[in-house]
Amino acid sequence: MVCGPSLMAEKEQGFRKMLEKSIVENIRIEHPVVLKGQYETAYSLLQDALDTGITPCLVGPPGVGKSLLARKVAEDTARSFHEVFFDENVTPSRLIGSFDPALVVRSGRNISSFEPGPLIRAMVEGGLFVAHELNRATEFCQNSLIAPLEERHYHLFPLGMVKAQESFAFVATQNPIETAGTYRLSRVLVDRIGCWIRLTYPTKETELLILKENTPAFSLPVSALDKIYEIVKATRENPVLEIPASPRSGIYLTRLVNKYLDRFETEDAAIKFFAPAVLAKEMKVRGEEGKTVSKVVDEIIKKVLG
């Protein structure tokens, strides 16, 4: 069946109304933030650094909550939230913005033809800009951040100097330098980051609380939760794995087992069924002969569950 022009227009109008309702002005955190242990300390350091105009950097392995902490600071301080996930393909124009060629032809290079990027938006609005995985940015892209970090302005040719609002804040996150695909930050950029906040995998007490708080209608017995944690922890202690399971993987596994436990005869059977699919998504072996992620996960599950 082929839709006529009027029906297509009606569908498009309906979609735009749905889109308008879906757009929210301010960032809202979807999942609870557990401010215990290292996270309480990191959150306090983040706020203290931003209050004194110092640029902080959260350093830690993937999935330990770096982005979530930055989002919470933005929400708690009523700042607009802007972010970019860096890799070798991100260019300065992705951060700063660019002139729309069609509008330039009509009216020239002026404010009306300029499409601001997330960094300029954060500076003008006095918002929080988060540079995710900053050490995946090329040096060319890193250099475009120097003026906003130090002088809190950016020279936008031919418009002039864009000066950041007083509440503008910049937060960087990065993975450990030994992680594959990372670059070393330039010395000039490092000198402008004044507070380095390091996160590791949380303690058992904190991680169990994270699993519970991020599982809707949590109803698992303590024994099942302990087994899930022990499996996740075992991936971090396994020397074969370059990238182990993160707390995020533990959350996904807990949610699945929590919701579908009644399908299985035992909690062990439920964990065995879901664990390989959840854990294998992010783990990476170091390349030892004969070892694969699937084999390592299978060995860990057998070791923990028997």
CATH code of the domain covering residue 300:
1.10.8.80
| pLDDT tens sequence across 89-106 | 999 999 999 988 888 888
Q: Is residue 2 part of a domain?
A: no
- Full residue range of the structural domain in which residue 277 is found: 204-305
3-state secondary structure 69-132: HHHHHHHHCCCCEEEEECCCCCCHHHHHEEECHHHHHHHCCCHHHEEECHHHHHHHHCCEEEEE
Q: Is there a single domain that holds both residue 59 and residue 111?
A: yes
pLDDT at 258: 96
Which one of 198, 220, 252 terminates a domain?
198
Q: Is residue 19 part of a domain?
A: no
Res 224 pLDDT > 60: yes
Beta bridge partners of 82: 129
Q: Is there a single domain that holds both residue 288 and residue 184?
A: no
Number of domains in the chain: 2
Q: Is residue 21 part of a domain?
A: no
Q: Which CATH number characterizes residue 158's domain?
A: 3.40.50.300
Mean pLDDT for 195-206 is 94
pLDDT at 85: 94
- 3-class DSSP state for residue 214? coil
Mean pLDDT rounded to a whole number for the chain: 87
Which one of 198, 230, 248 terminates a domain?
198
Q: 45 vs 79, 137, 228, 233, CA distance in Å?
A: 17, 25, 31, 27
Which one of 198, 219, 249 terminates a domain?
198
Q: What predicted TM-score, i.e. pTM, was given to this entire model?
A: 0.83
Q: Is there a single domain that holds both residue 73 and residue 103?
A: yes
Region for 61 from its dihedrals, namely left if φ exceeds 0, alpha if ψ lies in -120 to 50, beta otherwise = beta
pLDDT at 253: 96
Q: Is there a single domain that holds both residue 56 and residue 133?
A: yes
Q: Is there a single domain that holds both residue 44 and residue 65?
A: yes
Q: Is residue 7 part of a domain?
A: no
| pLDDT tens sequence across 115-126 | 999 999 999 999
pLDDT at 24: 56
| pLDDT tens sequence across 53-70 | 999 999 998 889 999 999
| pLDDT tens sequence across 3-42 | 566 777 777 777 777 777 766 555 455 556 788 889 999 9
Q: Is residue 273 part of a domain?
A: yes
Res 73 pLDDT > 60: yes
Q: Is there a single domain that holds both residue 147 and residue 107?
A: yes
Q: Is there a single domain that holds both residue 214 and residue 113?
A: no
